């Protein structure tokens, strides 16, 4: 079809186009380097993205960043959103508090006690001179050190009718003459949600508030005291009164730091708490121990049946008639593991005035009112 002479003339041009490229030998070292690099990258991704890394690295880091941001906003009066509150409530504080309780109960070797407790003393400004046993090696565990007792004479119990039940900082105190009570200035909680249904009294009133009062000329007063980690963690009876009813709310274990109380309305109605209700010389009296993060245990000495931070739903409510439990002023009532909050709600005349105000530091046995203190003199 084509002349042979024409084909021969085109071969110099066609041959290079049809010629196969030279064979490139397999380079083992290059492939190994590539595989090693890919393997390291994959291993690095796995190291930072597996479940263990998320729990041990990202969750604590995210929690610390979020709590730090909450603290910054609290200093500039930032109003926290409902979404952020819901997100904060989702953290498994009940589980972590149980873990912390088990860890704190572990016995420490004698050689480590001075180091561990010494760091804690310096970090939280613990006054060891008030402890019944100032020798740090005496305490077998962190829990035993947290709940240490005071030496005799470390606290003076005022002859006033009502005294401070614990050491701590006053978050709020004053008259509580409505169903909405201030937990801190400008932030409230519901009285009915906090105490629950009035099943301990047959008195009826136009409102829940009125049903609590025995004398309609009186009003309710409140005192909220926050126990910091470095404070004395036992609490005492603030007056001579008779407790007849106990209600335990399982609730959450959110932090009750003063700056957190400013951010979350109704914080005390959310948290786990043991409410003891009875009467004193002016009528209605209640004393509530509120749990918090890492406070896995609230112990009441005369009520060993109370079990706090147990497994189960957060909305559980347990009620108990405890008979006529008579308590004397200054008598040991219970203890916290780590710091938390004591809330007093009681009936008294309208002219009942507190000696101290929000932000003041108080101690066990300190008189609540100026008038009572002057009478004692």
Q: What is the pLDDT of residue 289?
A: 93
Do 312 and 369 touch, CB atoms closer than 8 A?
no
CB contact set of 1 (below 8 Å; sequence gap of 6+): none
Give pLDDT tens digits along the chain (377 positions). Answer: 445 555 455 555 555 554 555 555 544 444 545 555 455 555 455 555 566 666 666 667 776 776 676 666 556 555 556 676 777 777 777 777 778 778 888 898 998 999 999 998 998 889 999 999 999 999 999 888 988 999 988 999 999 999 999 999 999 998 988 888 888 777 788 899 999 999 888 777 778 898 999 988 999 999 999 998 889 999 999 999 999 999 999 888 877 877 777 777 788 888 889 999 999 999 999 999 998 877 657 889 989 888 887 776 667 889 888 989 999 999 999 998 777 899 999 999 988 889 888 889 999 999 988 654 444 34
Residues 292/255, Cβ–Cβ less than 8 Å: yes
DSSP string for residues in 209-251: HHHH-SSTT-EEEEEEEE--TTS--EEE--SSEEEEEEEEE--
H or E stretch at 268: helix 267-270
Distance CA 253, CA 295 (A): 8
What is the spatial distance between Cα 292 and Cα 271, in angstroms, rounded to a whole number? Answer: 7
pLDDT on residue 246? 95
Strand partners, 184: 187
3-state secondary structure of 360: coil
For residue 286, the model assigns a pLDDT of 95
Supply 114's token pair: 């001075």
Q: Tokens standing for 151?
A: 């030496």
Question: Distance between CA atoms of 243 and 324, rounded to whole angstroms?
Answer: 6
Instruction: Give the model confidence (pLDDT) of 66-125 as tens digits.
Output: 667 666 655 655 555 667 677 777 777 777 777 877 888 889 899 899 999 999 899 888
Positions marked catalytic: 167, 236, 340
Mean of the per-residue pLDDT values for the chain?
A: 80
pLDDT at 101: 77
What is the DSSP code (8-state) at residue 81?
P
pLDDT for 372: 43
How many residues are there in the chain? 377
Helix %, strand %, coil % of the chain (to 5): 35, 25, 40
Q: Which residues pair with 284 in a beta bridge?
A: 279
> Which pLDDT belongs to residue 75?
61
Residue appearing with tokens 């049809």: 18
Predicted confidence at residue 109, as pLDDT, reads 92
Which pLDDT score is estimated for 92?
Answer: 74
Cβ-based neighbour number of residue 140 at 10 Å: 14
Phi, psi dihedral angles at 310 (to 5 degrees): -95, 165
* CB atoms near residue 336 (< 10 Å): 26
- Predicted local confidence at residue 242, as pLDDT: 96
């Amino acid at each position: 079809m084509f002349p042979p002479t024409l084909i021969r003339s085109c071969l110099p041009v066609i041959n290079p186009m049809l010629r196969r490229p030279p064979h490139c030998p397999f380079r083992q070292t290059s492939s190994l380097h590539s595989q090693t690099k890919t393997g390291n990258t994959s291993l690095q991704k796995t190291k930072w993205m597996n479940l263990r890394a998320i729990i041990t690295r990202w969750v604590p880091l995210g929690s610390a960043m979020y709590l730090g941001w909450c603290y910054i906003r609290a200093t500039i009066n930032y109003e926290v959103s409902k979404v952020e509150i819901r997100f904060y409530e989702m953290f498994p504080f009940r589980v972590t508090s149980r873990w912390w309780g088990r860890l704190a109960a572990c016995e420490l070797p004698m050689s480590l006690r001075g180091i561990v407790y010494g760091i804690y003393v310096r970090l939280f400004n613990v006054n060891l001179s008030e402890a019944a046993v100032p020798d740090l090696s005496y305490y077998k565990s962190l829990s035993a050190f947290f709940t240490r007792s005071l030496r005799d004479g470390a606290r003076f119990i005022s002859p006033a009718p009502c005294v401070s039940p614990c050491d701590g900082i006053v978050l709020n105190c004053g008259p509580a003459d409505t169903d909405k009570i201030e937990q801190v200035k400008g932030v409230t909680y519901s009285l009915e949600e906090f105490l629950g249904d009035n099943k301990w009294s047959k008195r009826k009133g136009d409102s829940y508030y009125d049903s609590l009062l025995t004398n309609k000329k009186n009003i309710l007063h409140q005192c909220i005291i926050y126990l910091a980690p470095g404070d004395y963690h036992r609490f005492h009876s603030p007056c001579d009164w008779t407790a007849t009813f106990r209600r335990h709310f399982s609730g959450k274990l959110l932090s009750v730091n003063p700056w957190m109380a400013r951010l979350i309305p109704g914080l005390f109605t959310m948290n786990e708490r043991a409410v003891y209700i009875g009467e004193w010389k002016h009528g209605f009296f209640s004393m509530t121990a509120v749990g918090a993060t890492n406070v896995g245990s609230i112990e009441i000495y005369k009520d060993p049946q109370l079990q706090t931070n147990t497994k189960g739903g957060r909305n559980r409510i347990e009620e108990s008639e405890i008979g006529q439990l008579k308590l004397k002023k200054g008598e040991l009532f219970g203890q916290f593991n780590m710091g938390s909050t004591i809330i007093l709600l009681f009936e008294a005349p309208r002219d009942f005035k507190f000696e101290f105000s929000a932000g003041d530091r108080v101690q066990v046995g300190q008189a609540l009112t100026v008038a009572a203190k002057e009478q004692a003199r």
